[in-house]
């Protein structure tokens, strides 16, 4: 079973995002792995552990720091790591999806995993676009994947525990919402060992695609209203909340 995980390296939203021109100032932000990709890597490794095969993780190197992310994926159980030397921190999902699809073409993938979405998917997610380029079926919002023979049973989440089971014949592209088990922890000693021994295959970007969107403005959202803030010690805040609830007959 050839399992491929397509990942996105995206600006961290743990910090404030500085703006430069009409986009994020990519020089002053840290890049992190899309959190849904952590789930999709886990799901890929779980599938491998269940039915065997190899897991190849592939991503576009946005700022030259993708190696650390790939090492982590290898430490968590991926077998191969590939980076596309994009070196363009502003590459949009359309462009990344095209590059990724071109790279995945040669991997004879049975399943391509992607995170269901990323916080910077302004022009949509890479998963469905890779599926379109590779002419594979796509199903997103997935919370478990069980492979049997040349098809897979996947659970897709709609809302609040409501979902549906689908049978998909392989190859397919899956947008992972959550892995069937919470992502594992990779001990750093293993990550560091991997970092020393593993080779990361480099692929030059191939193919062009664009979102077709012209940026007019980027800024923190205009705040229309703001909560009335309770200040003081935690105890005082608690007292104010309780008082408010009591006055509204809610406590």
Partner 1 sequence: MSNDIFVITEHMDEKFSDVSFEMVGKAKELASALGGQAVAVALGSGLSANGFASDSTIYVDGANLAQFNPEAYGKVIEALVKEKSPRLVMFGWTATGMDLAAWLSARLGKPCAAYVKNIGADLTMTCQIYGGKMSADVSPDGDMAIAAVLAGSFPVEAGQGSTAATQIESPVALDGLKIKFVEAIKPAAGDVDITAQTKLVSIGRGIGSKDNVELAEELAKKLGATVSSSRPVVDAGWMPRTRQVGKSGLKVKPKLYLMLGISGAPEHLEGMKGAELIIAINTDKKAPIFNVAHYGSTADLFEVAEAMLELL
Partner 2 sequence: MLTTIERIAFIVLALTSAGFAIHGIKTIVDSVRKGRSAPELKNIPASLIKAGIMVLFQQTIFKARKILSTIHLGLFFGLITYAFVNLVDILEGFIPGFDLVYGGKHLTFPFLPSGIINAFNLIADVMSGALLFSITVFLVRRFIVKDKRLTYRENVLLNPKVKAGGQNKDSLVVGVFVILHVAARLLGQAFRLTDGADPFMPIASFLNGIFGASQTGVHVAWWISLCWVLYILPYITRSKHTHFTVGPINLGLAKQNPRGQLDPAVPAGEKIDPGAKFIHDLSWKRVLDSYACVQCNRCQDVCPANFAEGASLSPSALEVNKRYLIKEATFGSHPERLLLPLTETVISPEAVWACTTCHACVSVCPVGNEPMADIIDIRRRMIVDGAELDSGVQNALQSLATNGNWMSKGKRLRGRWAKEMEIPVKNATEEPVENLWFVGDTASFDERVVPNTKMVARIFQQAGFDFGIMYQNESNAGNDVRRVGEEGLFEQLVEQNIAAMGKAQFKQIVTTDPHSFNTLKNEYPQFGGKFDVKHYTSVLVKLFEEGKLTVKNPLSGYKVTFHDPCYLGRYNGGFTAPRKLLELMGVEFNEMPRNCENSFCCGAGGGQIWMGKVAPGERPAENRIKEALTTFEKNPSDKKQLFIVTCPKDMIMYSDAVKTTGNEGKIEVRDLIQLIAEAVGLEAPIISLETEAVAS
**Smallest gap from residue 86 Cβ to partner 1 (A):** 18
Element (H or E) spanning 111, and its range?
A: strand 111-115
225 touches partner 1 (CB under 8 A):
yes
The site map against partner 2 for 7-26 (x = CB under 8 A) is -----x-xx-----------
Cα 173 from Cα 171, distance rounded (Å):
7
Task: Choose one: 43-51, 83-91, 102-110, 150-158; the region binding partner 1 (CB under 8 A).
Answer: 150-158
**For residues 131 and 112, what is the distance between their CA atoms, to the nearest angstrom?**
9
Residue 147, Cα to own-chain centre: how many angstroms?
22
- Choosing from 26, 88, 124, 184, the residue that interacts with partner 2 (CB under 8 A) is 184
Q: Which of residues 128-167 bind partner 2 (CB under 8 A)?
A: none
What is the chain's Cα-based Rg? 21
CA distance 251 to 243: 9
DSSP assignment of 5-46 equals: EEE-EEE-SSS---EETTEE-GGGS-EEE-HHHHHHHHHHHH
Closest CA to 24 of 97, 92, 87: 92
108 contacts which partner out of partner 1, partner 2, none, CB within 5 to 8 A by kind? none
From candidates 85, 190, 211, 240, binder to partner 2 by CB under 8 A: 190
> Which part of the chain contacts partner 2 (CB under 8 A), choosing from 41-49, 109-117, 170-178, 185-193?
185-193
Taking CB under 8 A as the criterion, the residue among 88, 120, 193, 207 binding partner 1 is 120
Of positions 3, 10, 32, 74, contacts partner 2 by CB under 8 A: 32
Q: Which is nearer to partner 1, 180 or 193 (CB)?
A: 180
| CA dihedral sign of residues 102, 106, 109, 114 | negative
What is the CB-side half-sphere exposure of residue 221 using CA atoms within 13 A? 4
Closest CB to partner 2 among 75 and 142? 75
- The residues that touch partner 2, with contacts defined as CB under 8 A, are 12, 14-15, 28, 30, 32, 72, 182, 184-185, 187-192, 229, 231, 235
């Amino acid at each position: 079973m050839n399992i491929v995980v397509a990942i996105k390296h995206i600006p961290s939203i743990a910090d404030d995002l500085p703006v430069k021109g009409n986009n994020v100032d990519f020089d002053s932000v840290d890049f992190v792995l899309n959190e849904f990709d952590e789930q999709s890597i886990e799901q890929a490794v779980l599938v491998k552990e269940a039915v065997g095969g190899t897991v190849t993780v592939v991503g576009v190197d946005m700022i030259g720091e993708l190696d650390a992310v790939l090492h982590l994926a290898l430490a968590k159980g991926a077998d191969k790591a590939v980076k596309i030397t994009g070196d363009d921190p502003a590459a949009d999902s359309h462009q990344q999806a095209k590059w990724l699809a071109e790279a995945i073409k040669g991997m004879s993938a049975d399943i391509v995993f992607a995170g269901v979405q990323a916080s910077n998917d302004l022009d949509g997610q890479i998963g469905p676009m890779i599926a379109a380029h590779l002419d594979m079926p796509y199903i997103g919002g997935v919370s478990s994947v069980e492979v049997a023979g040349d098809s897979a049973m996947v659970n897709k989440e709609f809302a609040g525990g409501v979902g549906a089971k689908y049978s998909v014949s392989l190859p397919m592209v899956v947008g992972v919402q959550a892995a069937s088990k919470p992502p594992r922890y990779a001990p750093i000693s293993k990550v560091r060992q991997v970092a020393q021994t593993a080779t990361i295959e480099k692929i030059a970007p191939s193919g062009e695609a664009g979102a077709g969107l012209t940026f007019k403005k980027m800024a923190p959202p205009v705040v229309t209203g703001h909560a009335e803030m309770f200040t003081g010690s935690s105890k005082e805040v608690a007292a104010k909340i309780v008082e408010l609830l009591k006055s509204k007959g809610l406590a």
